């Protein structure tokens, strides 16, 4: 039995009957059977289905945003934006998949040589709760447009979103069993990965979950793409527009109540502008209105679960014990629900959870450094490598730092890190491997096949 629990009220919204092992077997076999037909469909047929899905998403965006608000606490406006982004990725791959997967002609001694991209089969997606529609659709659109089929194991606290996605795909006119949801707990993921019909795995989640899935997939020689945690550094240099930087940094830290792998986590500020930036940043963080995500004036909802809120608070407490200072927030509010206030910690140093670990919630670690060189060194002192940003009015300087000096998969100048269907997305180190989105993402679950005709 899977429960949907409203993090604002703590009340159970709905319960869902979990699939049995027999039910899981039936679903996977049905999806595998569908693949043999779906792979032979034309790009035009697939594109039509995805254009229908895009239209359907937009027509139901308020309804789906409300579902997210109730199930995991996302504020309505952010939920609507998430659904719009899902519609966009459907359109993007409907329009571009065919050209992305055209044969690549290679000139050699043979009369004809080329590289062909062929679908692998059924791919398992293990997805998180923090962006319960977007994380699925950024996998689903390229995977199905490429001719694969898919099964989804969604996070156990968003079963309503998981069921809704399957219903949307069906309503959009996709053939039966091209995409299905498995309502199961994490204890059954290993069996699914090892199923003969599953050809590859995509996981977005924690580093520990990624290591577990990678080990299982590796044991049966199945490819996986992993998008894991992050501790994204944002560098504030002495020539930055401090007021603008503070607004962008606060937005990145508080988006989705700070529950994002690519949210700004560590703010590394050069000494010359530290006091002024901190003043602006504190003001911006303090303007957030946290409350019921269904209310229009709310800009930040609760965290997704009480236990996640409590784990975050413990990281704050441990950091303070080791010398960090609370500038803003840092206390669990006396109210019902999984709420945690916007929080700023300074005097953060190595050895503290706020420095070494991912803070998956609205807590900012501000770190004071001497200059650009120390800022870059501090930014790279992490096992993660998902995103990073640098703020400077010298765009060439920022570009050089982003391209050559910051060790991460996605580096931005004067903006917060975000995913975009047109750009590859993914990390290095304990942030995972492989890429989603763009031309790179659609080729991850393909057989890159060499064909030589003598």
CA–CA separation, 218 and 418 (whole Å): 30
Q: Which of 97, 180, 103 is nearest to 143 (CA)?
A: 97
Q: Cα-flanking dihedrals φ and ψ of residue 209, to 5°? A: -65, -40
Spot the catalytic one: 71, 78, 166, 227. 227
Cα 335 to chain centroid, rounded:
29
Q: Which residue has the tokens 């603008």?
A: 244
Burial state string for 70-98 with b = 16 or more CB within 10 A and e = fewer than 16:
bbbbbbbebbbbbbebbbbbbbbbbebbe
> For 172-305, where are the alpha helices, taking DSSP H only?
189-194, 207-219, 242-254, 274-286
Distance separating alpha carbons of residues 312 and 306, to the nearest angstrom? 10
Is residue 98 annotated as part of the catalytic site, yes or no?
A: no
Q: In this structure, how many other beta carbons lie within 10 angstroms of the beta carbon of residue 425?
A: 23
169's CB contacts (< 8 A; 6+ apart) are: 53, 140, 178, 179
On whether the CB atoms of residues 353 and 363 are closer than 8 A, the answer is no
| Residue 377 host element (H or E) | helix 372-379
Strand partners, 113: 452
Other beta carbons within 10 angstroms of residue 321's beta carbon come to: 10
Name which of 408, 404, 359 is nearest 385 in CA terms.
Answer: 408
Helix, strand, or coil (residue 368): strand
Contact between 172 and 52 (Cβ < 8 Å)? yes
Beta strands 122-126; 149-153: pairing state:
parallel
Tokens of 446: 């393909």
Report the relative pairing of strands 264-270 and 325-328 from DSSP bridges: unpaired
Q: Which of 161, 224, 249, 261 is catalytic?
A: 261
410 flagged as catalytic: no
Q: What's the distance, Cα to Cα, between the start and end of the chain in Å?
A: 58
Sorted by sequence, the CB contacts under 8 Å of residue 188 that are 6+ apart come out as: 21, 24, 182
Cα(262)–Cα(416) distance, rounded to whole angstroms? 9
Catalytically annotated residues: 227, 261
């Amino acid at each position: 039995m899977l429960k949907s629990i409203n993090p604002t009220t703590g009340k159970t919204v709905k319960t869902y009957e979990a699939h049995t092992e027999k039910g899981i077997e039936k679903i996977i076999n049905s999806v595998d059977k569908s693949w043999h037909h779906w792979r032979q469909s034309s790009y035009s047929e697939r594109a039509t289905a995805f254009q229908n899905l895009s239209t359907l998403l937009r027509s139901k965006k308020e309804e789906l945003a409300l579902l997210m608000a109730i199930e995991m606490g996302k504020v309505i406006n952010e939920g609507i934006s998430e659904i719009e982004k899902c519609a966009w990725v459907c359109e993007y791959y409907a329009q571009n998949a065919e050209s992305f997967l055209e044969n690549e002609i290679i000139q050699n001694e043979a009369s004809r040589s080329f590289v062909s991209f062929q679908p692998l089969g059924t791919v398992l997606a293990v997805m998180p709760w923090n962006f319960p529609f977007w994380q699925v659709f950024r996998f689903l659109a390229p995977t199905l447009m490429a001719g694969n089929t898919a099964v989804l194991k969604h996070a156990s606290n968003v079963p309503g979103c998981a069921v809704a996605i399957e219903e949307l795909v069906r309503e959009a006119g996709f053939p039966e069993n091209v995409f299905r949801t498995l309502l199961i707990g994490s204890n059954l993921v290993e069996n699914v990965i090892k199923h003969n019909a599953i050809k590859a795995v995509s996981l977005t989640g924690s580093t520990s979950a990624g290591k577990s899935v990678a080990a299982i997939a590796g044991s049966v020689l199945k490819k996986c793409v992993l998008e894991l945690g992050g501790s994204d550094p944002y560098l504030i240099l002495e020539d930055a527009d401090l007021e603008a930087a503070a607004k962008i940094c606060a937005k990145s830290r508080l988006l989705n109540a700070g529950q994002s792998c690519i949210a700004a986590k560590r703010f590394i500020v050069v000494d010359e502008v530290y006091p002024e930036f901190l003043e602006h940043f504190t003001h911006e963080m303090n303007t957030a209105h946290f409350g019921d995500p269904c209310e229009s004036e709310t800009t930040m909802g609760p965290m997704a679960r009480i236990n996640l809120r409590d784990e975050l608070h413990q990281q704050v407490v441990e950091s303070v014990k080791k010398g960090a200072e609370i500038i803003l927030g840092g206390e669990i509010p006396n109210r019902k629900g999984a709420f945690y206030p916007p929080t700023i910690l300074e005097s953060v140093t190595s050895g503290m959870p706020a420095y070494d670990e991912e803070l998956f919630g609205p807590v900012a670690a501000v770190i004071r450094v001497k200059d650009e060189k120390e800022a870059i060194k501090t930014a790279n002192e992490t096992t993660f490598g998902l995103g990073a940003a640098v703020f400077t009015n010298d765009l060439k300087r920022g570009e050089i730092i982003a391209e050559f000096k910051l060790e991460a998969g996605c580096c931005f100048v004067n903006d917060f890190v975000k995913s975009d269907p047109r750009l590859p997305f993914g990390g290095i180190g304990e942030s995972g491997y492989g890429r989603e989105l763009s031309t790179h993402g659609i080729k991850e679950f393909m057989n890159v096949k060499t064909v030589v005709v003598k």
